[in-house]
Amino acid sequence: MHFDLQTLPCVILCGGKSSRMGQDKCFLPFHNQSLIEFQFSRLSRFFQSCFLSCKEDKFKAHFEQLIFDKKLEDVEFSPMLALFSVLDYFKDTFVFVISVDMPSVEKEHITTLAKHLDQSLIILPRSKGYIHALCGFYHSSLSSKCLELLKQKKHKIQSLCEQNNAFVLDFNDDKAFVNLNDFESYVRFKNEMF
């Protein structure tokens, strides 16, 4: 089964705490712009539409396509809440979800994942034995499952993946799926790339 990326939406997750970075990752300088501007610009070329997932509009109306985290009692920062809010926004479609701090994932990697959309409702990459749950395709029909897990106080995306038999694809290209988790990794990445 072949899916054209131009028919699918992409959502960049940018509502995390960035606690290990010490500052909001979205606004880190990157290629003479901010990291979120870099990600939005390049991913918009691959997909029909590109959205940002966040808690509130911290971009001062610079971006219009925002998906806000839903308000749930006793839940503030939660990857599962962000994913639930994203999937609940769409109807009957696969959504490509990616964290803002993964700037090396290229169209070829995404296209390879998309070739397996008939295998499961969740398609994820794995490199160095690590599954990247915040970089892959999720079907919007999973929103109700996300809500169930939230009610059980399960906030890790892995819970959803395990319960719904995620299809995991191995990649040898480790650098493609690098995460800029802290300032040291960000500086190291910039020095290697530029």
pLDDT tens, residue order, the chain (194 aa)? 567 888 999 999 997 766 677 788 888 888 889 999 999 999 999 998 999 998 888 887 678 899 998 987 777 678 899 999 999 999 999 999 999 999 999 999 999 999 999 999 999 999 988 999 999 999 999 999 999 999 999 989 999 999 999 999 999 987 899 888 888 888 888 777 65
Phi, psi of 119 (to 5 degrees): -90, -30
Q: Where are the beta strands (DSSP E) in 45-121?
A: 49-54, 66-68, 94-99
Q: What is the pLDDT of residue 1?
A: 55
pLDDT reported for residue 86 = 97
Residue 190's pLDDT is 79
**What pTM value is reported for the model?**
0.93
The sign one gets for the Cα dihedral 21, 84, 116, 107 is negative
* Number of separate domains in the chain: 1
Tell me which residue range forms the domain holding 178: 5-193
C-alpha angle 71/75/81, rounded to 5°? Answer: 70
Judged on CB neighbours under 10 Å (0-12, 13-18, 19+), 22 is exposed
Residues 3 and 117 sit within 8 Å (Cβ to Cβ): yes
Give the pLDDT score at 17: 62
**Parallel, antiparallel, or unpaired: how do β-strands 49-54 and 33-34 relate?**
unpaired
Q: What CATH number is attached to the domain comprising 99?
A: 3.90.550.10
Which residues are CB-neighbours of 8 under 8 A, at least 6 positions away? Answer: 47, 48, 93, 94, 95, 96, 114, 137
Supply the pLDDT for residue 145: 96
pLDDT score of 2: 60
